[in-house]
């Protein structure tokens, strides 16, 4: 059996990012940037008002006092989107609105709440105003040419707003991985129809599809194959011809009906890894067939989920060129003692509450899906380990 970290490193070292494509910015949400993105514009693009008020030159103002407020004439009105005023006559001000371009010779904006409009086009200042008060400077947020997003970073909504503000309308992004999902077993039946005695609903197909969709992969095909060598071989061959990655469940253990490894090697696939020192998830296989990576997950639903989270998901992220492929982690405090008496890493399904307290989420057997459905994290306990309640532990969040 291979330790988890060794298995994951071996897989990730063998994976190269896919090719890149040009995407319009509005289509780039959730995609991984293939080349660094640099600002094409200053943000803001010009000095502008940060408040509604009056733009003026502070050097034109007499000393302010509460007994003798300053009154100045209003020369013009500048709204957001208006071209910059070429000149502001000495001793005057401009009524200005938030985001409007500051006149080139003005150096402050006094906010509307600190003024009192007067008849005949004048305004009274009710408070002193200092140089550059109420002003946003050109390039204050971003300078043209400065780096915005590094290669290998996945774009979230705030990125798209920043990129648009900096004049970027398209990005080079790694294309999404194409994935085929196959469940295997004569016992599997469609959940929608009558379930014959001895049959089980094919829940893994729905689980895998949802996991692949959440990861942003392009699903080429989902299917269930029987425990027969020819259909298994045909399913793997079709997947390798059309996908970057094929994920199967079941058929990778040591039983007579476990045909996935045999079919894979008969097709010329190279089996790089089989069996990992993880509970649940021991009968895990990984190999390569032409340009396609095969991940053979255990048939038990929880074991399939755990091995997807720990091994398949990082591989998908590496295929997309993401720089940080491991799951997000946090420190939590145990609400109960935990013991792993076995010789494999024990991956528990747990729930972390808002206060950072972590508890196991139901029975931990690999076929119990109800606890998995309410879990929001995984907690890995090394073999031969006993942890007391109150201990700080690291959990991997389920995304």
Q: Is 209 exposed, middle or buried (0-12, 13-18, 19+ CB in 10 A)?
A: middle
Looking at the structure, tell me whether residues 165 and 181 fall in a common domain: no
Query: Does the pLDDT value for residue 117 go beyond 80?
Result: yes
Q: Is residue 282 part of a domain?
A: yes
Q: Are residues 129 and 170 in the same domain?
A: no
What does the mean pLDDT of the chain come to?
A: 95
Bridge partners of residue 48, in order along the sequence: 101, 136
- For the chain, how are helix, strand and coil distributed in percent, rounded to 5? 20, 35, 45
Q: Percentage of residues in the chain with pLDDT exceeding 70?
A: 99
- Does the residue 355 lie in any domain? yes
- Asked if residue 167 belongs to a domain, the reply is yes
Q: Determine the Cα–Cα distance for residues 80 and 70; give it in Å rounded to an integer.
A: 26
Amino acid 193: pLDDT:
79
**Three-class SS of residue 194?**
coil
Q: What is the CATH number of the domain that holds 364?
A: 2.40.340.10
Residues 268 and 247 in one domain: yes
Q: Which two tokens stand for residue 36?
A: 């660094």
Mark whether 197 and 165 lie in a shared domain: no
pLDDT higher than 80, residue 159: yes
Q: Are residues 108 and 66 in the same domain?
A: yes
- Overall pTM surpassing 0.85 (yes/no): yes
Same domain, 31 and 144: yes
Which of the residue ranges 15-24, 60-69, 259-268 would you say has the lowest mean pLDDT?
Answer: 60-69
Q: How many domains does the chain fold into? A: 4
**Quick one: 313 and 351 in the same domain?**
no
Cis peptide before 189 (omega within 30 of 0): no
Question: Same domain for 277 and 378?
Answer: no
33 and 163 part of one domain: yes
| Rounded Cα distance, 58 and 62, in Å | 9
Give residue-wise pLDDT tens across range 202-224: 999 999 999 999 999 999 999 99
Tell whether 248 is covered by a domain.
yes
Query: Is the CB of residue 366 less than 8 Å from the CB of residue 319?
Result: no
In-domain check, residue 117: yes
Question: Could you say which DSSP state residue 31 is in?
Answer: P
Query: The domain containing residue 260 runs over which residues?
Result: 4-18+176-319
- Say what the pLDDT of residue 257 is: 74
Comparing 29-38, 116-125, 197-206, the range with the smallest average pLDDT is 116-125
User: Looking at the structure, do residues 63 and 76 belong to the same domain, yes or no?
Assistant: yes
> Residue 353 has which token pair?
């509450």
Q: Which of 120, 136, 152 represents a domain boundary (last residue)?
A: 136
Answer with the one of 259, 285, 319 that is the final residue of a domain.
319
Mean pLDDT of 117-137: 93
Task: Give the DSSP letter of residue 113.
Answer: G
Q: Is 160 part of a structural domain of the chain?
A: yes
- Residue 169 and residue 29 share a domain: yes
What pLDDT is attached to residue 118? 85
Is pLDDT above 80 for 369? yes
Average pLDDT of the segment spanning 272-277: 96
Strand positions, DSSP E, 160-269:
170-174, 178-184, 188-189, 200-201, 218-225, 245-249
Evaluate whether residue 208 is within a structural domain.
Answer: yes
- Which pLDDT belongs to residue 248? 97
User: Per-residue pLDDT for 318 more than 90?
Assistant: yes
Quick one: pLDDT at residue 120?
84
Q: With respect to residue 324, please indicate whether it lies within any of the assigned structural domains.
A: no
Look at residue 135 in the predicted model and tell me its pLDDT: 98
For residue 100, the domain's CATH number is: 2.170.190.11
Residue 200's pLDDT band, with cuts at 50, 70 and 90, is: very high
Identify the CATH number of the domain in which residue 193 sits.
Answer: 3.40.980.10
Q: What is the CATH number of the domain that holds 162?
A: 3.90.105.10
User: What's the full length of the chain, in residues?
Assistant: 399
Query: Does 312 lie in the same domain as 232?
Result: yes
Confidence (pLDDT) at 59: 93
Last residue of a domain, one of 136, 165, 185: 136
Does the pLDDT at position 65 exceed 80? no
């Amino acid at each position: 059996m291979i330790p988890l970290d060794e298995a994951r490193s071996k897989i990730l070292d063998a994976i190269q990012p896919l090719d890149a494509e040009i995407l319009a910015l509005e289509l780039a949400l959730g995609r991984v940037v293939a080349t660094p993105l640099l600002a094409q514009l200053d943000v803001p693009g010009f000095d502008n008002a940060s408040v509604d008020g009056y733009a003026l030159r502070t050097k034109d103002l007499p000393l302010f006092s509460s007994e003798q407020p300053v009154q100045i004439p209003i020369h013009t009105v500048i709204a957001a989107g208006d071209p910059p005023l070429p000149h502001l006559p000495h001793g005057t001000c401009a009524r200005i609105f938030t985001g409007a371009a500051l006149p080139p010779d003005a150096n402050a904006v006094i906010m509307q709440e600190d003024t009192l409009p007067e008849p005949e086009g004048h305004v009274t200042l009710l408070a002193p105003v200092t140089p550059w008060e109420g002003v946003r400077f050109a390039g204050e947020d971003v300078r043209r040419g400065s780096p915005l997003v590094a290669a290998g970073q996945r774009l979230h909504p705030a990125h798209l707003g920043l990129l648009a503000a900096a004049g970027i309308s398209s990005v080079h992004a790694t294309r999404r991985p194409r994935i085929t999902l196959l469940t295997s077993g004569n016992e599997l039946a469609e959940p929608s129809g009558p379930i014959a005695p001895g049959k089980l609903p094919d829940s893994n197909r729905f689980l895998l599809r949802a996991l692949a969709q959440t990861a942003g992969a392009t699903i080429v095909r989902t299917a269930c194959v029987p425990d027969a060598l020819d259909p298994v071989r045909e399913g793997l061959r079709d997947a390798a011809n059309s996908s970057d990655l094929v994920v199967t469940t079941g058929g990778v253990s040591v039983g007579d009906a476990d045909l996935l490894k045999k079919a894979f090697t008969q097709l010329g696939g190279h089996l790089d890894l089989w069996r990992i020192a993880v509970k649940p998830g021991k009968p895990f296989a990984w190999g390569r067939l032409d340009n396609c990576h095969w991940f053979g997950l255990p048939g038990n639903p929880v074991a399939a989920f755990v091995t997807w989270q720990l091994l398949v998901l990082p591989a998908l992220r590496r295929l997309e060129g993401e720089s940080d492929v491991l799951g997000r982690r946090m420190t939590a405090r145990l609400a109960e003692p935990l013991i792993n008496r076995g010789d494999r890493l024990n991956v528990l399904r747990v729930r972390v509450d808002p206060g950072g307290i972590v508890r196991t989420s139901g029975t931990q057997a690999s076929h119990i899906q109800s606890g998995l459905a309410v879990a929001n994290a995984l907690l890995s306990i090394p073999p031969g380990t006993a942890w007391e309640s109150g201990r700080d532990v690291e959990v991997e969040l389920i995304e």
